[in-house]
Structure 1
Amino acid sequence: MTIANQKGGVGKTTSSVNLAASLAMHGAQVLVVDLDPQGNASTALGIDHHAEVPSIYDVLIEDMPLAEIVVPAPEIPNLFCAPATLNLAGAEIELVSKVARESRLQRALEAYNKEKFDYVLIDCPPSLGLLTVNALVGGDELLIPIQCEYYALEGLGQLIRTVDLVKAHLNPTLSVSTILLTMYDARTRLAAQVAEDVRNHFGDVVLSTVIPRSVRVSEAPSYGQSVMTYDPGSSGALAYSEAASEMAHRGAGAVQ
Structure 2
Amino acid sequence: MSSIFDQLQADHKILSEVAEGDFPRPTQTRVIAVANQKGGVGKTTTAVNVAAVLAQGGLEVLVIDADSQGNASTALGVGHRDGTISIYDVLVEGTPIRDVAVQTRFTPNLWCVPATIDVAAVEIELIDAERRESRMRMALREYLLGRREQGLPRLDYVLIDCPPSLGIMTINAFVAAGEVLIPMQAEYYALEGLALLTRSINRIAEIHNPVLGVSMIALTMFDKRTMLSRDVEAEVRNYFPEATMETRIPRSVRVAEAPSYGSPVVFWDPRSTGSVAYAKLAQEIAMHGVAHTMTEGET
Normalising by structure 2, we get a TM-score of 0.83
Aligned partner of 2:268 among 206, 219, 230: 230
Structure 1 unaligned spans of 5+: none
Letter in 2 for 1:108: A
Equivalent residues in 2 for 1:111-122, closer than 5 Å: 111-113=142-144, 116-122=154-160
Identity rate, percent: 53
SS at the partner of 1:243?
helix
Structure-2 change in CA distance of 1:167 and 1:237 (3 Å)? same
Deviation of 1:253 after TM superposition, in Å, equals 8.8
Letter in 2 for 1:118: D
Return structure 1 stretches of 4+ with deviation > 3 angstroms: 252-255
Asked if structure 1 preserves the Cα contact closer than 8 Å seen for 2:255 and 2:275, the reply is yes
Aligned partner of 1:32 among 53, 57, 63: 63
Deviation of 1:254 after TM superposition, in Å, equals 8.3
Deviation of 1:104 after TM superposition, in Å, equals 0.6
Larger radius of gyration: 2
Match of 1:178 in 2: 216
Match of 2:19 in 1: none
Residue correspondences, number = 255
Tell me the alpha carbon deviations over residues 39-95 of structure 1, each in whole angstroms, 9 at most, x when there is no partner. Answer: 000000000001111100000000111110001111233100000001001111212
More deviation in 231-240 or 144-153?
A: 144-153
Tell me the alpha carbon deviations over residues 27-50 of structure 1, each in whole angstroms, 9 at most, x when there is no partner. Answer: 011000000000000000000001
Match of 1:56 in 2: 87
Asked if structure 2 preserves the Cα contact closer than 8 Å seen for 1:136 and 1:174, the reply is yes
User: Does residue 110 in structure 1 map to residue 141 in structure 2?
Assistant: yes
Match of 2:196 in 1: 158
- RMSD across aligned C-alpha pairs, in angstroms? 1.4
Match of 1:202 in 2: 240
Asked if structure 1 preserves the Cα contact closer than 8 Å seen for 2:211 and 2:292, the reply is no
Asked if structure 2 preserves the Cα contact closer than 8 Å seen for 1:25 and 1:77, the reply is no
Deviation of 1:187 after TM superposition, in Å, equals 2.1
Match of 2:49 in 1: 18
Match of 1:90 in 2: 121
- Equivalent-residue separation in structure 2 for 1:98 and 1:234 (angstroms): 46
- Equivalent-residue separation in structure 2 for 1:129 and 1:152 (angstroms): 19
Match of 2:174 in 1: 136
Asked if structure 1 preserves the Cα contact closer than 8 Å seen for 2:179 and 2:292, the reply is no
SS at the partner of 1:154?
helix
Normalising by structure 1, we get a TM-score of 0.96
